[in-house]
Amino acid sequence: MPLKTLVILNPYAGRWTAKERMPETEQALRRAGIDYQLTMTEGPEHGTRLAEQAVREGYQRIIAAGGDGSISEVVNGMLSPALQEMPVNQRPALGIMPLGTANDLVVNLGLPLILDDAAQVIAAGHTRLLDLGEVQVGVKGRKRLFDNNSAIGLEPTVTLIQQDITWLKGVARYLVATLMAVMRKPQWRAKLEWEGGSYQGMISLVTVGNTPLTGGLFYMTPNADPFDGKLTFVYGYMPTRRKILQLLPRTMKPGAGSYVEHPDIHEVHAKWLKIEVETDTPVHADGEIQSRNERFFYYEVKPACLPILLPERAHA
């Protein structure tokens, strides 16, 4: 009997190209023999509401057709606070049809970018339990799950700038936005606490990763593993624009020579992290700004909580 499957397509993903690719997406799913229903999101957070409703209606597979923001919305719906008590073995599996710009989660998990191949992965039905991160924004603020990464300081400043850049597409937009953010010389005085450690002093950034790659180009937490039951966070302070710019190329290296090897940059693996800053900073989760001005953040890992459809070679 076919699995009850819902496709949630964000027509605005990929800089408004996903709607044009809807016929291609549906053809790929049909060629893979997937029986499905499709619905389109109509605005911010609609994907979250649709995914939560789909879980309640007993869908066994929920396919996010879009980019990283679209996937994140669907994930937050599948594991909304009201649904987190559902036993893991009863949760529907997440499938992905990549229609975004950077497609970071797809790249991080070794999923195919070609739609026909992505549909074949979904049809094959191999799942693995993915860790997620959760950030609480504000002392009594809202909580948000993330599958890729979240950050305060420099990184969300870049996100805010790139949202206003319309003359570039793809990873070039992120790179230009990063250069513009560096020129603002971002810095904050902060207190960090985590299991087994703490830090108090100046920071340029704190980035918390479930996976290594973000923005299609930057390995901000190069040693993050979304299946190890921990979050990986990086913090550090570069006092001048020149030093930040000198370090920037090393954020694009996933292995030897990465920026985390710099003596003023620190990479930590932990189950939780508390951050307090003296002046306001923006914060993002999976590239979506959660607040432009906040001073308290609490991160924790949600280990092995989301069944996700992956290529068989990634199945464990």
Question: What does pTM read for this prediction?
Answer: 0.93
d(CA 90, CA 95): 16
61 forms bridges with which residues in the sheet?
5, 93
Check whether residue 261 and residue 157 sit in a common domain: yes
- Map tokens 């550090």 to a residue: 236
Rounded Cα gap, residues 127 and 259, in angstroms? 33
Q: Is the pLDDT of residue 2 over 90?
A: no
Note whether 229 and 114 are same-domain residues: no
- With 90 as the cut, is the pLDDT of residue 312 above it? no
The pLDDT > 70 percentage for the chain reads 98
On whether both 217 and 259 belong to a single domain, the answer is yes
Cα four-point dihedral sign 35, 71, 312, 90: negative
The tens digit of pLDDT for each residue in 29-76 reads 999 999 999 999 999 999 999 999 999 999 999 999 999 999 999 999
**Which CATH number is 271's domain given?**
2.60.200.40
Instruction: Give yes or no: residues 117 and 38 share one domain.
Output: yes
204 and 273 co-located in one domain: yes
Q: Note whether 140 and 80 are same-domain residues.
A: no
The reply to whether 156 and 103 lie within a common domain is no
Q: Does residue 309 belong to any structural domain of this protein?
A: no
The pLDDT value recorded for residue 315 is: 46
The answer to whether position 183 is within a domain reads: yes
- 58 in Cβ contact with 50 (< 8 Å): no
> How big, in percent rounded to 5, are the helix, strand and coil portions of the chain?
30, 35, 35
Q: What pLDDT, on a 0 to 100 scale, did the predictor assign at position 186?
A: 82
Q: Is 269 inside a domain boundary?
A: yes
In this predicted structure, the answer to whether residue 162 has a pLDDT above a threshold of 50 is yes
Q: Is the dihedral of CA 100, 307, 146, 5 positive or negative?
A: positive
Q: What is the mean pLDDT of the chain?
A: 94
Q: How far is CA 57 from CA 28, 91, 171, in A?
A: 25, 12, 38
204 within domain boundaries: yes
**Alpha carbon distance 97, 95 (integer Å):** 7
The yes-or-no verdict on residue 111 having pLDDT over 70 is yes
Q: How confident is the model at residue 130 (pLDDT cuts 50, 70, 90)?
A: very high
Contact yes or no for 49/18 (Cβ under 8 A): no
What is the residue range of 78's domain? 5-125
d(CA 311, CA 309): 7
Given 125, 144, 159, the domain boundary residue is 125
From CA 55, how far away is CA 90, in angstroms rounded?
10
Residue 246 pLDDT exceeds 90 = yes
Whether 209 maps to a domain, the answer reads: yes
8 Å CB contact between 103 and 213:
no
Is the pLDDT assigned to residue 316 strictly greater than 70? no
Q: Which helix (H) or strand (E) holds 13?
A: helix 13-16
pLDDT at residue 183 in the model: 85
Angle, nearest 10°, between helix axes 68-78 and 46-56? 40
Please check whether residue 245 lies inside any domain of the structure: yes
Quick one: pLDDT band at residue 302, thresholds 50, 70, 90?
Answer: very high
Say whether both 49 and 174 belong to one domain.
Answer: no
Same domain, 185 and 104: no
pLDDT of residue 194: 98
Do both 24 and 55 map to the same domain?
A: yes
Q: Please give the residue that has the higher pLDDT: either 179 or 24.
A: 24
Which of 125, 154, 184 is where one domain is finished?
A: 125
One domain for residues 166 and 280: yes
The CATH number of the domain holding residue 89 is 3.40.50.10330
Residue 270 has pLDDT above 70, yes or no: yes
The SS3 of residue 63 is strand
Domain count, the chain: 2
* Residue 27 forms part of a structural domain: yes
Whether 229 is in a domain gets the answer: yes
Are 43 and 144 contained in the same domain?
Answer: no
Last residue of a domain, one of 125, 146, 167: 125
Structure confidence at residue 235 (pLDDT): 98
Packed helices 22-31 and 115-124: angle between N→C axes, nearest 10 degrees:
40
